[in-house]
Structure 1
Amino acid sequence: MTSHKEKYDHNYEEIDVIGNGAYGTVFKAKDPRNEGSWVAIKRIKIQNTEEGMPMSAIREIALLKQLENYEHPNIVRLLDVRHAQQSPTEIRLMLVFEYIDQDLSTYLQRCPSPGLGPERIRDLMLQLLNGVDFLHAHRIVHRDLKPQNILVTSQGQLKLADFGLARVYAFQMALTSVVVTLWYRAPEVILQDTYATPVDMWSCGCIFAELFNRSALGLPREQDWPENVTLPYHSFKAKPPQPINHLIPEIDSDARDLLEKLLIFNPHNRITAHDSLQHPYFKDELESIRTSSSLSESESLDTSDCRSDTPVSK
């Protein structure tokens, strides 16, 4: 906990640091205005301009606030935005979100090997794609989808977090210069080629595969490799693509087809979030899961969600 309080957060009682990253610090805090309920506070430093906070950052944050009007079930709630002038060259931004105590990575760790059952995987993927489709429909590219940025409530409701802030972060440092995990990053981002919404679909594919297991899928075809990028095709040792059913033996044909469409190397041919939601993989469950996208409030993750009889660790 910091030894001093910023002017902008006097209403919040910070309890603990729950995350440190390249872009700032996240605190768990109490909101005394709402019967002491928990919130998550993300602090971000933004380099100032002569006119004050950059207009692009203001527009991005205004858009995030506007999305709150929709109360989408798969988007984490942004409760408050405040800022303070720290110096002539720096602004401190504080974003207050609803507090959820586990991310998808932690959620998966609670289910022992070999992992989640097929129906739970289907439910999580439908929620994930619903959230991504909502962002894309509002012209927001997440750019950093990974299990640590996906929250899961104790009732199994999935919510996307840390979205729409890439251009806000860019005022402090270039996105490509930050040392973060590349496991979920689309090829066009790693290669510093142009990119848009398909980058999120690649990440969804990586997460989909991780819900089953973790494995590399091989090198794409040379003719699909973009020109004039930082890494030429022959920088990598030749490794032919492997059939997905060899890497994930238990995957069914519809799930395999969706996964392959999400992990198409050429972003122009990659499936969209909207089309993913219409995929046959979801045909039987689509309506029921849309109306009840989480487990009932009386349920939590238990052994019925897992593919083994090993008790779930708490």
Structure 2
Amino acid sequence: MDFCTKPLCYELLAEVGEGSYGKVYKAREVGEKQRLLAVKKFNIRGDSSENGIPAFMIREVALLRKMKYFNHPNIVELLEASAVPVGRSLDLTLVLEYIDQDLSTYLSKVPASGLSRDCIKDVMQQLLRGLDFLHTNMVLHRDLKPENVLISSRGEVKIADFGLARIYTFNIALTPGVVTLWYRAPEVLLNSVYMSTVDMWSAGCIFAELFLLSSLLCVCVCFSVTGLPSKEDWPKESPIPYSVNWGPKSSCTKLLHNLSPDENDLLAVSRSVCVCVCVCVLS
């Protein structure tokens, strides 16, 4: 089936993903370039369409359009966006550059011996360059995880999926229920004020995962590994009271014994040396 939305024409090749609002397709551009594309098709039906496009979709399109002007190599590029009314429904289509796989899929193919340090360094450098660009432009991604980090067969790393992203302004009220649990910073779980540090925490979780090849993070064990913060450092606005029972005051400084001192320092700076064998949520 061919679609032409002037000036971009493409042919859908295969469905590669499905969510609550729509589907993602692999497509090929029709014409001279013949480049591969990722096409996200959202269908907003019934009463939802009468209320317009959901806010998270508008934010994703707006932020991707903003990023497009800078053409940063580590941010996925939006090539086209269109919204077409179909009866009582509304079809929203995003056409993006196609990347072979996400980081989660990439890691699932890594041999038991693990990734080389040079490879880990390259992935993290690209990821942090992309995050630095977003934060410099006051954008919080808020859902950084391997499934939202794309990596091509050529090793190009691109941050994707801006459905939960927000432009940060001073003293803005930000939603607490963001970031997938295993990559969620303590200040989010504690309903505390947060800033770009939530993305840095997630990046640190990904950094650890590049070594471990699995995600094993939870806040309770975070404190048992990094040590419990002092009562003075506990967020005063958090509805969860401070308690010495949350974890030991001393930290485990050598969680990953195969890391060099510099690598352990980097992991500590990103505040995510917290690797565990269970998942729990503070309530």
TM-score interval, smaller chain = 0.7 to 0.9
What displacement does 1:176 show? 5.7
Partner of 2:234: 225
Aligned mates of 2:193, 2:62 — CA distance in 1: 25
Say which structure is richer in strand. Answer: 2
Partner of 1:143: 142
Aligned mates of 2:84, 2:176 — CA distance in 1: 27
- Pairwise mapping of residues 14-163 of structure 1 onto structure 2 (< 5 A)? 14-22=12-20, 24-33=22-31, 35-44=33-42, 47=48, 61-86=61-86, 91-163=90-162
Instruction: Check the 8 A contact 2:27/2:37 in 1, yes or no.
Output: yes
5+ residue gaps, structure 1, are 169-173, 266-314
Instruction: Check the 8 A contact 1:8/1:84 in 2, yes or no.
Output: no
Give the structure-2-normalised TM-score: 0.74
What displacement does 1:77 show? 1.5
SS at match of 2:150: strand
What displacement does 1:36 show? 4.0
* Ranges of 4+ aligned residues in structure 1 off by more than 6 Å: 4-10, 54-57
What displacement does 1:165 show? 4.8
Give the structure-1-normalised TM-score: 0.67
Say which structure is richer in helix. Answer: 1
Q: What's the C-alpha RMSD, in Å, of the aligned pairs?
A: 3.6
1:238 aligns to 2:242 (yes or no):
no
In structure 2, do the counterparts of structure 1 residues 78 and 164 end up closer, same or farther at CA, with 3 Å as the change threshold? same
SS at match of 2:95: strand
Instruction: Check the 8 A contact 1:218/1:239 in 2, yes or no.
Output: no
Q: Deviations over 1:215-269 (max 9, x none)?
A: 5453132523323435445597535564242x2111112221121111179xxxx
Given residue 208 of structure 1, which amino acid in structure 2 is its aligned partner? F
5+ residue gaps, structure 2, are 168-173, 274-283
Partner of 2:281: none
Count how many residue pairs are aligned between Structure 1 and Structure 2.
Answer: 253
* Higher RCO (C-alpha 8 Å, min separation 6): 1
Aligned mates of 1:53, 1:205 — CA distance in 2: 34
- Seq. identity, %: 43
SS at match of 2:181: coil
Aligned mates of 2:272, 2:186 — CA distance in 1: 10
Instruction: Check the 8 A contact 1:26/1:41 in 2, yes or no.
Output: yes
Aligned mates of 1:93, 1:206 — CA distance in 2: 33
Partner of 1:251: 259
In structure 2, do the counterparts of structure 1 residues 238 and 23 end up closer, same or farther at CA, with 3 Å as the change threshold? farther
Instruction: Check the 8 A contact 2:143/2:164 in 1, yes or no.
Output: no
Instruction: Check the 8 A contact 2:57/2:163 in 1, yes or no.
Output: no
- Pairwise mapping of residues 175-214 of structure 1 onto structure 2 (< 5 A)? 181-213=180-212, 214=214
In structure 2, do the counterparts of structure 1 residues 49 and 206 end up closer, same or farther at CA, with 3 Å as the change threshold? same
Instruction: Check the 8 A contact 2:64/2:77 in 1, yes or no.
Output: no
What displacement does 1:26 show? 1.6
